[in-house]
Amino acid sequence: MAALRGRRPRRSRRDGGPRDPYEGLPVDELDDPLLPRWFVLTLLASVPVALVLFVVAFFGLGRGEVAPAERRPPPTGTVSADVGEITAGEREPVAHDGACQEASRFALAGAEADRETLGGALDALCDLDVATVALADLAETGRTTVRFAGFAASGVEVASDDAVVMLNARLAERPAAELAPLLAYEARLVTADRLDARAVVDARALEAAVCDELLAEPTRGCEDARAILALEDPIAELRAAGFD
C-alpha cells in the first residue's frame, strides 16, 4: 500500500469507459492530480513573455515613426486632407461674435463648450496681422463654419471641405490657443492656388509663426511644422508623401 501513496490509482477499463487523462500522475492529500514540474515551470516562464508581447501590441513599440511630412495627408475630393470617413454632429452653426471683424465672419457648430473653444481659437488669431489676413481669405472661399468632427484617420488634426473647417474631435478638450495654429494652417492652405507641396510649406510656415506667438509649449503640430521647415528640401519630402 505504501508504494501506491501519492499516485493516482489505475482504474480498470473493462467497462469500456473513457481513459482518465490524469491516471498515474502524482496526487495531493485530497487525491487531486498535481501538475508535472516541467509544465509549471513552462507556465511561469511564459508569463513575462506574454507581458512583453502585450506591451508591444498596446503601445505600438517597434513600429516606425511617421515622418512629419506624412502626418497630414494630401487632399481627396473636396476635402483638404484625406482623413477617411468623417463623423460630425448635426447642430446648426451659430454666428460667432468675434474679437475682430475677420473672426466674426465665421459660424461655430456643436455644443456650447465646443463653440466656446472654437471661438477662442479664432479670436486668438485676431492679434496677429498675418493670421487675420489668412482668416479673411478663408472666409472668401465660403468655408465659414468651424466645428469638431471625428476622422477615421485619427492622427490628422485639421481638414476642411467646401463649407466647413473641421478640427479633430479628440482635440476638443485642448485649450483654444492650441487650436489657433491649426486654423491658421488650414486658412493658408485652402486659399492657395493649388493644394500642393508648396502650399503646405507656406501653410506650415504660418502655423509655426502662430505657434511662436501664442504658445509657450509647442504642440505636436507646432513641432511637425518646424521639423518640415527645417528639412533640406521640404517640398521633395512632401511630394514623396503624396502631394503634387
Neighbours of 99 (CB within 10 A): 16
At 26, the pLDDT band (50, 70, 90 cuts) reads low
Between CA 195 and CA 207 the distance in angstroms is 16
Instruction: Note the pLDDT of residue 204.
Output: 98
Alpha-carbon distances of 176 from 6, 73, 117, 184, 230, rounded to whole Å: 72, 24, 5, 13, 27
Q: Which residue has the cell 484625406?
A: 82
Whether the pLDDT of residue 3 is over 50: the answer is no
Number of residues assigned to the chain: 244
Q: Concatenated DSSP letters for 66-78?
A: PPGGGSSPPPBTT
At 182, the pLDDT band (50, 70, 90 cuts) reads very high
Alpha-carbon distances of 12 from 31, 72, 96, 236, rounded to whole Å: 18, 72, 88, 80
87-96 tens-digit pLDDT: 999 999 999 9
**pLDDT, average across residues 217-229:** 97
At 24, the pLDDT band (50, 70, 90 cuts) reads low
CB 152, CB 205: distance < 8 Å: no
Whether the pLDDT of residue 184 is over 90: the answer is yes
Whether the pLDDT of residue 29 is over 60: the answer is no
**pLDDT, average across residues 198-221:** 97
At 224, the pLDDT band (50, 70, 90 cuts) reads very high
Neighbours of 166 (CB within 10 A): 27
138-150 tens-digit pLDDT: 999 999 999 999 9
At 33, the pLDDT band (50, 70, 90 cuts) reads low
Instruction: Note the pLDDT of residue 65.
Output: 75
**pLDDT, average across residues 175-193:** 97
Whether the pLDDT of residue 60 is over 60: the answer is no
Question: What does pTM read for this prediction?
Answer: 0.74
Instruction: Answer with the residue of higher pLDDT: 204 or 162.
Output: 204
